[in-house]
Structure 1
Amino acid sequence: MNTENIDTRDMPDEIEFIKLPEVLRLTGVGTTKLYDMVKTGVFPAQVKLGERSVAWIKAEVLEWNRDRVALARKQALSHALAS
């Protein structure tokens, strides 16, 4: 794999990979829903670690969680102000 043109400046110095069970635990979604969200670009894609091994970057999963909370709070506030 050629990685010469990949910009890694925005990546943290330490990257923690997590496997599917941990991703499901952190997000609260099911396996099918998770893979559907990855396919549609709504959720960060997994990283291929080997021929038969994938994992997710924990920081990306946590960022997705934070984004969901922020969106929910914003919607709740908009709803409250509209009432």
Structure 2
Amino acid sequence: MVRILRLPEVQRHTGLSARVIYRRVAAGTFPRQVPLGDKATGWLESEIEQWVAERIAERDATAGMRSEMGRELRARRDVKAAA
């Protein structure tokens, strides 16, 4: 079943303000709204959940890179100290 979220629900899901959501939609970095009527729009819950999951994956990838870089720097420092 497809579920459509209105703006307050999207804000709760993402922690973003309405202003930031609309700016990101305009920039193409956030899911676009689905028209529901003349003046009503909503977002597909599945697209919002996917967007959040992508942010988590980016965070985890960045954290992994940081820890790997840290290990390399410590290894270089240890080699220099031993020399």
Give yes or no for TM over 0.5.
yes
Structure 1 stretches of 4+ with a deviation exceeding 6 A read none
1:69 CA drift (Å): 0.1
Q: Any idea what the Cα deviations from partners look like across 1:18-53, whole Å, max 9, x if unmatched?
A: 100000000011111110000011000001110011
Gaps of 5+ in 2: 71-83
Gaps of 5+ in 1: 1-13
**C-alpha distance in structure 1 between counterparts of 2:65 and 2:8, whole Å:** 34
Partner-residue secondary structure (3-state), 1:56: strand
Give the number of equivalent residue pairs: 70
Return the structure number with greater helix share.
Answer: 2
- Structure 2 residue 52 is matched with structure 1 residue 65: yes
Calculate percent identity across the aligned residue pairs.
31
Q: Highest CA radius of gyration, 1 or 2? A: 2
Paired letter, 2:31: P
CA RMSD of aligned residues (A): 0.5
**TM-score scaled to structure 1, two decimals?**
0.82
**C-alpha distance in structure 2 between counterparts of 1:26 and 1:66, whole Å:** 11
**TM-score scaled to structure 2, two decimals?**
0.82
